[in-house]
Structure 1
Amino acid sequence: MADSPAPADQPACEGSAEDTLLPAELRAWMQLLAAAGAIEQRLRSQVKESLGVSHDEFLVLCLLAEQPGAALRMSRIAESLGRPKTRLTYQIACLQHADLVTRRSVCGDKRGIEVALTDKGRRLLREVSPALAETVTEAVHGMIDDRQCESLRGLLPEVAEASVAGSDTAV
């Protein structure tokens, strides 16, 4: 066992693509998850400080911000964010208490609830979004090198091929 290059419980050094057990798409997916987790971690404190809400509540605000002038049903928000409806109810109540969202019954559906950003919520998002976007950009640049970027393109081979074809024609 003394001759072994790496202990059995430790990962081996990085090898060639042929040495890996995972196909390129799964490796890319794992890198994407790692990058998203790192970005989320960097955003948490900044979101709390600048907006006074949790990261999950921030995601609700962002989803609503992409629906200018319109409300979304709570069931649609839960589905879009992959959150349990019971947890979302608590988050919406917190956002409503902070006067960042309103909620109302859906006309003709006793059980349906729609949520919309308030003017205060829109104004606050507009004010803090540039700094939060910069944090995301910095985190991405710090997390993803050229090799990983190429690997992530493996998730969408058609897009990568179109990008290469487009750059060939532009030359």
Structure 2
Amino acid sequence: MTTRWLSPEEQRAWRAYIAASALLEDTLDRRLQQEAGLPHLYYSVLAMLSEAPDRRLRMTDLAEVLKITRSRLTYAVARLEKDGAVRREDCEWDKRGSVAVLTDEGMALLERTAPGHVETVRRAVFDHLDPGQVEQLERICTGITKALQGDGTETVTPDDLPWRRRSCPSS
């Protein structure tokens, strides 16, 4: 099989993406740590739960929404649970599963933290894009996500998707 090397244009785009995504994640993490002592992932857990019906989601569904492994989510939820922001309950319809529930304390934390987070996202990303570029960014990211999740052109196995993996790969 012949390697399909990146063209110079693709290489520049790839490196720009890597730089932007690393710096954006660092910026979001630093701001949230300073404001609320939360890493970006923990904030995302709170935000997703706040948008769910009754502020609750099955852990597996929450992992899928966040695009992370179940073990990583379990660790994050355990920390948020310890801080009183989230609680876990047994899943009524699946005895093997559990449900993450956003507490009133977690909602208050999210409401205090959200304005600063949104301002950081706006300054870091959207203030630099015109409406057409925002639309392009959405289409590009949606296309990449669909391809990685299996858009019908490739077979995606459960181990290809983080939230379906049985365990983390060993290093």
TM-score by length of 2: 0.64
> Residue 153 of structure 1: which of 123, 136, 145 is its match?
136
The correspondence for 1:89, drawn from 65, 68, 74, is: 74
Match in the other structure for 1:101: 86
Amino acid at match of 1:137: R
Counterpart amino acid of residue 69 in structure 1: D
Specify the alignment match of 2:157 in structure 1.
none
Aligned length: 133
Give the drift of 1:138. Answer: 0.7
Separation in 2, partners of 1:125, 1:81: 17
Q: Which amino acid aligns with 1:87?
A: R
Change in Cα spacing, 1:119 to 1:36, as seen in structure 2 (3 Å) is: same
Q: Distance in 2 between matches of 1:105 and 1:130?
A: 32
Deviations 1:27-66 (A, max 9, x none): 5x87666544433221111211222222211111111111
Match of 2:27 among 20, 26, 42: 42
Structure-to-structure mapping, 1:68-147, within 5 angstroms: 68-141=53-126, 144=128
Q: What amino acid maps onto 2:111 in structure 1? A: R
- The structure whose RCO (Cα within 8 Å, separation 6+) is larger is 1
Aligned to 2:169: none
Cα deviation per residue 1:64-91 (whole Å; 9 max; x = unaligned)?
A: 1111523101101111112111121111
Deviation at 1:150, TM superposition (A): 3.9
In the TM superposition, residue 121 of structure 1 has moved relative to its aligned partner by 0.6
Question: Which of residues 51, 60, 63 is equivalent to 1:66?
Answer: 51
2:167 paired residue number: none
Instruction: State the Cα distance separating 1:106 from its structure 2 match.
Output: 0.7
Cα distance in 2 between the residues matched to 1:116 and 1:33: 34
Deviations 1:70-119 (A, max 9, x none): 31011011111121111211111000000000110011422110001100
The sequence identity of aligned pairs, in percent, is 33
| 8 Å CA contact retained: 2:56, 2:100 | yes
Amino acid at match of 2:63: A
Q: Which runs of 5+ in 2 are unaligned?
A: 1-6, 141-171
The C-alpha deviation readout for 1:100-149, integer Å capped at 9, x for no partner, is: 0011001142211000110011011111211111111111156x456xx6
Q: For residues 75 and 30 of structure 1, do their structure 2 counterparts lie closer, same or farther at Cα, with a shift above 3 Å needed?
A: farther
